[in-house]
């Protein structure tokens, strides 16, 4: 499946058609499903069609757009797709008795049982036990599945937007910005099939609400390092976004992510705050 993903440019050019479904294409058959990076994010869709079944350039009377994927995550079946089926996996399985699991004897002493459950819409669930040595991309999650799942498990901390002066600022007075208490180090996600996503903060941007945009290094305590000034009075909604670079590791070893999944090499978290901006009022009195 990953070889198909690396065809990048031609697949992405077709994605607009993937997302437009018509009655004429609903009966098209898919030979292979996979992940494709789009401007809207990662899409699990049909990447290879059976000849003449209605895919792009197919022989159903003029081709037409491909069908949308029918692998739909629901309930516990929300970890990866196997064709049209949504699946989840326990590795190792809770049950490690070969006879009770209905499998053959253990191949090697170091082997353990893996449990996979899959379900297609409107169909009964399919349960399967197999030895970990039998697990491959056709039976379990591929590298794309693992990368996608690991990225989804990455929990970035919320952004607490702080500014000084703390209750209100003044026109033409510098306003300081920082993300109070945000960890400045790496954020390590839990493992997904042995793969971990690790996020490193790179930049902090502040959209001040008046059309201005600042880009600063991450500031996590009160400081004048990231600052701006408002030119007009009013109540502004400021948005602070922390951008992260993301890498993936398996057992401490860096994993190369296919080009089609490059959108998962970044992540971001945002927060907002209302900033009252006031003008200094001068009172002139007659001292004569």
Q: Domain-by-domain residue ranges, the chain?
A: 1-69, 80-139, 153-278
In order, the DSSP letters of 188-226 are EPPPBTTEEEEEEEEEEEEE-SSS-EEEE----SS-SSS
Mean pLDDT, contiguous 10-residue spans, the chain (288 residues): 31 29 37 57 61 46 46 75 80 92 92 91 88 75 80 88 88 92 90 87 94 93 92 94 95 86 89 91 58
**What pLDDT shows up at residue 22?**
25
Residues 6+ apart with CB under 8 A from 200: 186, 187, 244, 245, 246, 247
The whole-angstrom separation of Cα 175 and Cα 165 is: 7
Predicted TM-score (pTM) of this structure: 0.59
Residue 86's pLDDT is: 82
Are the CB atoms for 154 and 189 separated by under 8 Å? Answer: yes
Q: How far apart are CA 59 and CA 62, in angstroms?
A: 6
Alpha helices in the chain (DSSP H): 2-5, 9-18, 98-101, 143-153
Fold of 153-278: Immunoglobulin-like (2.60.40)
Query: pLDDT digit string (tens) for 232-252?
Result: 999 999 999 999 999 999 888
């Amino acid at each position: 499946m990953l070889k198909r993903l690396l065809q990048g440019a031609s697949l992405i050019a077709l994605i607009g058609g993937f997302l437009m479904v018509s009655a004429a294409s609903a009966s098209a058959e898919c030979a292979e499903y996979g992940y494709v990076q789009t401007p809207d994010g990662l899409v699990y869709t049909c990447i290879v069609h059976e000849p003449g079944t209605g895919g792009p350039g197919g022989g159903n009377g003029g081709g037409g757009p491909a069908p949308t994927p029918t692998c739909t995550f629901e309930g516990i079946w929300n970890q990866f797709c196997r064709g049209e089926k949504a699946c989840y996996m326990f590795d190792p399985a809770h049950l490690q008795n070969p006879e009770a699991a209905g499998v053959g004897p253990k191949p090697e002493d170091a082997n353990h049982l893996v449990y996979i459950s899959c379900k297609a819409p409107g169909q009964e669930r399919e349960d399967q036990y197999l030895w970990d040595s039998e697990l491959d991309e056709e039976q379990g999650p591929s590298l794309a599945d693992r990368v996608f799942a690991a990225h989804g498990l990455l929990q970035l901390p919320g952004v607490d937007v702080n500014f000084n002066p703390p209750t209100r600022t003044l026109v033409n007075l510098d306003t300081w910005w920082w993300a109070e208490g945000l960890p400045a180090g790496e954020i390590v996600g839990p493992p997904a099939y042995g793969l971990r996503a690790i996020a490193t903060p790179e930049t902090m941007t502040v959209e001040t609400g008046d059309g201005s945009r600042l880009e600063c290094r991450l500031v996590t305590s009160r400081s004048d390092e990231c600052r701006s000034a408002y030119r007009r009075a009013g109540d502004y909604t400021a948005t602070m976004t922390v951008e992260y670079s993301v890498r993936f590791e398996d057992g401490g070893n860096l994993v190369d992510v296919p080009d089609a999944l490059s959108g998962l090499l970044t992540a971001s978290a945002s927060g907002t705050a209302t900033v009252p901006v006031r003008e200094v009022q001068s009172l002139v009195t007659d001292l004569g």
